[in-house]
Amino acid sequence: MRGYFTHLASMTLAVMVATPSAMASDLPPLEKKDRYRVGFSQMESNNPWRIAETKSFQDTAEGCNWDLISTDAAGSAAKQVADVDSMIAQGIDVLFLPPREEKPLIPAVMKAKAAGIPTFLVDRSVDPNVAQAGRDYVAFLGSDFVDQGRRVAEWTLENFDGEKGIIVELEGTTGSSPANDRKKGFDDVMAEHDHMEIVASQSGDFARDLGRQVMETLLQAHPDVNIVYAHNDEMAIGAIQALELAGRKPGEDVLVVSIDGTRDALQAIIDGKMGVTVESSPFFGPLACDVMNRYANGEEIETWVKVEDRIFTAENAADHIDEAY
């Protein structure tokens, strides 16, 4: 077990046992081969997280005997479905899919299943009421986003020293699993605290520029904001730019909190402009290799291969910036 964990570099795992295990008979099997034709359908490449994830798959390919076909849907769920279609036509043996949104990517999952291609969802999931791990796809490899939101909220409660928290929330891509779950985790905790109020919550599509624009607009309506919760670091950095442009002092008169652990976010923490980022690792390549090989060996795969996330604050950001992306 130890050796298995150690080569998974910067990702730690918890094995989930509570969920029902995969019914091998329902799922397309994966034949053992010397080389696999592997599809990786990236959703967009407009932020460092996405670029690091794609690179992690590329870096894993040779050592895992993959002939990797990767595509980039450039932010369009419709294109991502078409990309998967084209990879199915190219005869992939296995599919790794980060679904941009929870519902629009379900047809891609179902088509891969119908074509006999085992699919692993990585980093994001689909609507569990429609498509299920262990039945329609093998497993979801990724973080607990509700818990990430909850941990940001708890850190904020411990570290905010004002009397009343006026919170602006910058949501991720509408209809994506991390946006839905990071909102739920954070909002549920804050709802239990009367001195905390979320005055606005709007999507910045997980993008830096949009995060900045949305923050600029929301600042007009809520000049008294003193906490910004962004669903990812790129939007947090955009929000910091908007705040500074408006003459505010992030880290002094506004507490900015977020999720991911990018290099820019760790630098913002070191510079005192950001309070916390809860980790959400993009380095899925080695884990994907490992889980795929276990599946090809006929092992039962847990329906959620859960990634454990660290937390970065002023106490440890400098220790981790060199390994950040």
Task: Give min distance, CB of 297 to ligand GYE, in A.
Answer: 28
Task: Give min distance, CB of 142 to ligand GYE, in A.
Answer: 7
Q: Are 106 and 127 in contact (CB under 8 A)?
A: yes
**What tokens appear for 226 in the block?**
């003193």
Task: Give min distance, CB of 179 to ligand GYE, in A.
Answer: 9
Give yes or no for residue 136 binding ligand GYE (CB under 6 A): no
Give yes or no for residue 124 binding ligand GYE (CB under 6 A): yes
Q: Using CB under 6 A, pick the residue from 83, 144, 181, 260 that binds ligand GYE.
A: 260
**DSSP alpha helices (H): ranges in the chain?**
2-6, 48-61, 77-89, 106-114, 145-159, 177-190, 208-221, 233-245, 263-270, 285-296, 317-320
Site for ligand GYE in 283-312 (CB under 6 A): none
Give yes or no for residue 280 binding ligand GYE (CB under 6 A): yes
C-alpha distances out from residue 270 to 76, 80, 106, 248, 263, Å: 35, 37, 41, 18, 11
Residue 43 backbone dihedrals phi, psi, to 5 degrees: -90, -30
Q: Using CB under 6 A, pick the residue from 178, 204, 250, 251 that binds ligand GYE.
A: 178
Give yes or no for residue 134 binding ligand GYE (CB under 6 A): no
SS3 14: strand
Q: Are 319 and 10 in contact (CB under 8 A)?
A: no
Name which of 81 and 166 has its Cβ closer to ligand GYE: 81
Q: Are 150 and 189 in contact (CB under 8 A)?
A: yes
Give yes or no for residue 208 binding ligand GYE (CB under 6 A): no
Give yes or no for residue 123 binding ligand GYE (CB under 6 A): yes
Site for ligand GYE in 212-251 (CB under 6 A): 232, 234
Name which of 166 and 291 has its Cβ closer to ligand GYE: 291
Residues within the interface to ligand GYE (CB under 6 A)? 47, 49-50, 123-124, 178, 206, 232, 234, 259-260, 280
